[in-house]
């Protein structure tokens, strides 16, 4: 298959940002020019050794890269199957992979002489990462966040404000992530001369899906090198959770041409696919256009975007990144889901067995590893992306576990 590599970004997506049927640039005329300018500047920066040097400097000395690849020994022993390695993105500055991309884009914004940064955020993780890099460079920063999310994630609102960012609550519609993205796009159109919009995942109009993936591929580049050092061979399975899809694309991309490596993306199964209360776009979603890109969406027969649900705010979005849709069509990556209950049980399991409290998003990936490892031979290797740490989720998890009927626990709880 022909897959664009870092050195040759032109094959997939094509010049218009299409990954097969997906992606593209579905925006009003007023956004076309800023997107074309961004694309040109991004490609120029990507080829510039000075930009790469600067990026690497901050990734190492500010963010804390490389992150470790850690053999989860007690979890492996408990499951009596494949060896489980964790890529520790939870150890990065601000606690998740999001800063890899926020940092890359803020460096790009400086090259473009933009003095003002805006971003959308759902759970607040991308907002915190963006506010952090904006503070580091002394740039003005406005974060759009649904008013409902502001209440649910009050700690992250405070973090952003401490960092000097303005948090703008959005009261339109459902008052969550989708409305925050609309508001950020509106701001960008109005202030494009001074402002760069740091989009937080592999979604939106071209060049965002390509650019964000390339800023996140450091996860997979490091993991590939580290597993070869530790085990002398490639992993058998890669597992990552999929919200918009940036941590998963970042891990998967450098392995796409390794035919022996299976890849699994885990979406939010919420309260179950049949209940409709989930965010598993590949289970019951269909082709549509949302916020600049063509991809798989949860929508009704009239094309109205449906409400989604997940215990983890970071996976709770109606659309999935276009490159994932393309990889699924090509059967290169398998997509499955974990329910809220399975994620909660995986959250506890990792805390108790490994001393690591994962983000609830990442717990979806852990849940899948726990399901597949026992039936695999002990020589096999499962590499899981631990996309973030769970401090932000402790309060919510404690409440949910506290009021849970023991019968509602998933089968994973029996491993505790």
Ligand X SMILES: *Cc1c(COP(=O)(O)O)cnc(C)c1O
Q: Is 310 in the site for ligand X (CB under 6 A)?
A: no
Positions 352 through 381 that interact with ligand X (CB under 6 A): 359, 361-362
Number of Cβ within a 10 Å radius of residue 21:
13
Give the length of the chain. 416
Residue among 192 and 356 whose Cβ is closer to ligand X: 356
Residue among 156 and 341 whose Cβ is closer to ligand X: 156
Q: Is 121 in the site for ligand X (CB under 6 A)?
A: no
CA 10 to chain CA centroid, nearest Å = 23
Count of residues binding ligand X (CB under 6 A)? 19
- How far apart are the two ends of the chain, measured CA to CA in Å? 42
Residue among 107 and 123 whose Cβ is closer to ligand X: 123
| Six token digits for residue 18 | 């299409």
Active site residues: 98, 120, 387
Distance (Å, rounded) from C-alpha 239 to C-alpha 366?
Answer: 8
CA distances (Å), origin 259, targets 91, 162, 377: 30, 46, 19
**Closest approach of Cβ 37 to ligand X, in Å?**
24
Positions 4 through 43 that interact with ligand X (CB under 6 A): none
Q: Which of 81, 146, 204, 244 binds ligand X (CB under 6 A)?
A: 244
Q: Is 295 in the site for ligand X (CB under 6 A)?
A: no
Compose the 86-115 pattern: x for residues touching ligand X by CB under 6 A, - for all others: ----------x-x-----------------
Distance (Å, rounded) from C-alpha 280 to C-alpha 10?
Answer: 30
Q: Is 246 in the site for ligand X (CB under 6 A)?
A: yes
Residue among 24 and 122 whose Cβ is closer to ligand X: 122
Backbone torsion region of residue 124, taken as left when φ is above 0, otherwise alpha when ψ lies between -120 and 50, otherwise beta: left
Q: Residue 86: name the closest of 326, 408, 381, 407 by CA.
A: 381
Distance (Å, rounded) from C-alpha 142 to C-alpha 361?
Answer: 25
Q: Which residue has the tokens 């992150």?
A: 67
CA distances (Å), origin 152, targets 44, 122, 146, 393, 397: 40, 10, 10, 11, 13
Backbone torsion region of residue 272, taken as left when φ is above 0, otherwise alpha when ψ lies between -120 and 50, otherwise beta: left
Q: Which of 94, 339, 341, 387 binds ligand X (CB under 6 A)?
A: 387
Distance (Å, rounded) from C-alpha 301 to C-alpha 299?
Answer: 7
Compose the 319-358 pattern: x for residues touching ligand X by CB under 6 A, - for all others: ----------------------------------------
Positions 261 through 290 that interact with ligand X (CB under 6 A): none
**Closest approach of Cβ 90 to ligand X, in Å?**
7
Residue among 192 and 279 whose Cβ is closer to ligand X: 279
Sheet holding 116-121, edge to edge: 166-170, 140-146, 116-121, 195-197
Stretch that binds ligand X, among 112-120, 144-152, 236-244, 269-277 (CB under 6 A): 236-244
Q: Is 314 in the site for ligand X (CB under 6 A)?
A: yes
Residue among 139 and 315 whose Cβ is closer to ligand X: 315
Residues near ligand X (CB under 6 A): 96, 98, 125, 201, 241-248, 314-315, 359, 361-362, 387-388
């Amino acid at each position: 298959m022909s897959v664009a590599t870092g050195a040759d970004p032109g094959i997939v997506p094509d010049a218009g940002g299409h990954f097969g049927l997906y992606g593209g640039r579905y925006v009003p005329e007023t956004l076309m020019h800023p997107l074309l300018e961004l694309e040109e500047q991004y490609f120029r920066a990507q080829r510039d050794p000075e930009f790469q040097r600067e990026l690497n400097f901050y990734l190492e000395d500010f963010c804390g890269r490389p992150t470790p690849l850690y053999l989860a020994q007690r979890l492996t022993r408990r499951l009596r199957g494949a060896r489980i390695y964790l890529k520790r993105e939870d150890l990065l500055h601000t606690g998740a992979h999001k800063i890899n991309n926020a940092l890359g884009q803020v460096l790009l914004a400086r090259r473009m002489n933009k003095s003002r940064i805006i971003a959308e955020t759902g759970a607040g993780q991308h907002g915190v990462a963006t506010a952090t890099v904006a503070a580091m460079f002394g740039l003005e920063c406005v974060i759009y966040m649904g008013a409902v999310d502001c209440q649910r994630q009050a700690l992250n609102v405070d973090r952003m404000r401490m960092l000097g960012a303005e948090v703008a609550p959005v009261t339109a519609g459902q008052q969550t992530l989708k409305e925050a993205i609309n508001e950020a796009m509106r701001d960008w159109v109005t202030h494009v001369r001074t402002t760069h919009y740091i989009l937080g995942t592999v979604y939106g109009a071209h060049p965002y899906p390509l650019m964000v993936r390339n800023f996140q591929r450091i996860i997979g580049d490091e993991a590939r090198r580290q597993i070869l050092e530790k085990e002398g061979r490639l992993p058998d399975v890669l597992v990552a959770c999929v919200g918009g899809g940036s941590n998963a694309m970042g891990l998967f991309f450098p392995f796409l041409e390794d035919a022996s490596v299976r890849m699994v993306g885990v979406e939010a199964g919420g309260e179950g696919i049949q209940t409709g209360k989930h965010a598993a776009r590949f289970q019951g979603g269909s082709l549509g256009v949302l916020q600049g890109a063509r991809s798989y969406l949860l929508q009704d027969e009239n094309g109205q975007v449906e409400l989604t649900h997940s215990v983890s705010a970071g996976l709770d979005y109606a659309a999935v990144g276009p490159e994932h849709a393309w990889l699924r069509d090509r059967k290169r990556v398998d997509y499955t889901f974990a329910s809220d209950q399975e994620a909660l049980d995986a959250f506890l399991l990792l805390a108790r067995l490994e001393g690591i409290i994962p983000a609830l998003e990442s717990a979806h990936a852990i849940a899948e590893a726990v399901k597949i490892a026992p039936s695999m031979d002990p020589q096999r290797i499962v590499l899981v992306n631990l996309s973030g740490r769970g401090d932000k989720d402790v309060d919510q998890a404690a409440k949910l576990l506290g009021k849970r009927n023991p019968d509602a626990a998933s089968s994973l709880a029996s491993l505790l």
